[in-house]
């Protein structure tokens, strides 16, 4: 009986000893010079996911971001005591990009990203929020009271902003490769730096926005009915082809103006401005999306002030002759979608 208890105790000791080993120090992410150590652990690839412009509000500082938790420590180990040092971290881009910026790229297109380092919310050892800059290091504050990686977790946050995404224009998967290098900092006999390489990805899907439409007052055509027009902007990533659908508040299968229950039919036509009408389409109220092969979205959010589409409203003279006097109005909803 005593022998069995002793054997079981020995096995438990072996398991405990194995579990406390640095089993996740692999490759280039741990190094030592005698009892002086520098380590980085658990930093992996960061996926910013998919950006769908149509799901984002038109205004505001929209962004996509994601976080990863990892640790970086530097210390002298003497028996069971660790003296903690202040490791220096530098984020190094391994793929091409503009000088002075972290970017993710797709071919020649680039999207700048912001990368910050902060303490982990469930952390014991506090750190201050710092932003990485190319060619510059950030310094962590070591504390002898917190000497394990699990007590020194850090949060790496990567952010891409809507304005930069739109400016890039092209859809597809953007990627960047990076190296997080950790130097032992104030260690007296420093080991060589350690590092982990990882990727950051962002997938830009086709997106589309419509802007620039305002209320309209129709003009009397002096015997030729009534009409009015205005130009508006359709933005689409990668200058994608698009289509349009119209909905009338008062119409039912046709576009109608309302005057206290009295109705007046009108036509709603969309197309490129100043192009002789060859690309223009008369919409069917609450019908299917309709488009023209010449319609391409602008790759600037507001078309840089040069709207790329025209909306034309027309009431025939025959319709006007049958209408009672009064103020007629309607609310039209235009919806655009990528072809």
Residue 319: pLDDT over 50: yes
Reported as a single tens digit per residue, the pLDDT across 156-201 is 999 998 878 877 777 889 999 999 999 999 888 999 999 999 999 9
Q: For the domain 25-204, what is the CATH code?
A: 2.60.40
The DSSP annotation for 191-213 comes to PPPEEEEEEEEEEE---EEEE--
Of residues 85 and 54, more confidently modeled: 85
Phi, psi of 4 (to 5 degrees): -65, -40
Q: Average pLDDT for residues 72-81, to the nearest whole number?
A: 93
Q: Which residue has the higher pLDDT, 241 or 97?
A: 241
Q: Where in the chain is the domain with CATH 2.60.40?
A: 25-204, 208-338
Report the chain's mean pLDDT, rounded to a whole number. Answer: 85
Tens digit of pLDDT for each residue in 125-150? 788 899 999 999 999 999 999 999 88
pLDDT tens-digit series, residues 33-76: 999 999 999 999 999 998 776 444 434 447 889 999 999 999 99
The listed CATH number (2.40.50, 2.60.40, 3.30.70, 2.20.25) that belongs to domain 208-338? 2.60.40
Q: Kindly report the number of other CB atoms within 10 A of residue 235's CB atom.
A: 25
Residue 249 — left, alpha, or beta (φ > 0 → left; ψ -120 to 50 → alpha)? alpha
Which one, of 278, 283, 339, 276, lies nearest residue 311 by Cα? 283
Q: Distances in Å between the alpha carbon of 160 and those of 89, 180, 186?
A: 22, 19, 34
pLDDT band (50, 70, 90) for residue 98: low
User: Which of 72, 65, 71, 62 lies closest to 46 in space, CA to CA?
Assistant: 65
CA distance 155 to 126: 12
Token pair for residue 25? 């120090």
Q: pLDDT for 157-168, tens place per residue?
A: 999 988 788 777
pLDDT one-digit tens code per residue, 223-282:
889 999 999 999 887 788 999 999 999 999 999 999 999 999 999 999 998 766 679 999
194-204 and 172-183 strand pairing: antiparallel
């Amino acid at each position: 009986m005593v022998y069995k208890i002793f054997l079981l105790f020995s096995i438990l000791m072996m398991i405990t000893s194995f579990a406390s080993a640095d089993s996740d120090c692999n490759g280039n992410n741990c190094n030592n010079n005698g009892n002086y150590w520098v380590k980085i652990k658990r930093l992996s690839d960061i996926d910013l996911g998919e950006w769908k412009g149509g799901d984002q509000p038109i205004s505001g500082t929209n962004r996509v971001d994601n976080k990863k938790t990892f640790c970086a420590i530097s210390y002298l180990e003497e028996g069971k005591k660790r003296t903690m040092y202040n490791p220096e971290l530098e984020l190094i881009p391994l793929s091409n990009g503009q000088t002075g910026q972290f970017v993710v790229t797709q071919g020649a297109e680039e999207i700048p990203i912001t990368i910050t380092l902060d303490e982990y919310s469930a952390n014991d050892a506090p750190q201050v929020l710092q932003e990485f800059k190319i060619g510059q290091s950030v310094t962590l504050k070591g504390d002898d009271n917190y000497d394990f990686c699990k007590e020194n977790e850090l949060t790496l946050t990567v952010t891409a902003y809507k304005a930069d995404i739109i400016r890039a224009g092209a859809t597809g998967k953007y990627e960047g490769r990076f190296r997080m290098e950790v130097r032992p900092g104030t260690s007296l006999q420093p080991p060589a730096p350690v590092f982990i390489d990882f990727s950051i990805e962002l997938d830009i899907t086709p997106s589309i926005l419509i802007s620039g439409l305002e209320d309209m007052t129709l003009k009397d055509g002096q015997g030729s009915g009534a009409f009015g027009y205005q130009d508006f902007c359709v933005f689409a990533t990668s200058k994608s082809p698009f289509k349009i659908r119209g909905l009338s508040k008062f119409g039912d299968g046709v576009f109608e103006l309302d005057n206290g229950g009295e109705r007046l039919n009108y036509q709603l036509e969309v197309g490129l401005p100043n192009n002789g009408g060859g690309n223009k389409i008369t919409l069917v109220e609450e019908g299917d999306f309709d488009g023209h092969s010449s319609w391409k979205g602008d790759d600037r959010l507001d078309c840089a002030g040069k709207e790329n589409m025209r909306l034309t409203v027309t009431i025939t003279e025959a319709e006007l002759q049958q209408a009672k006097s009064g103020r007629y109005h309607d609310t039209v909803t235009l919806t655009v979608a990528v072809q």
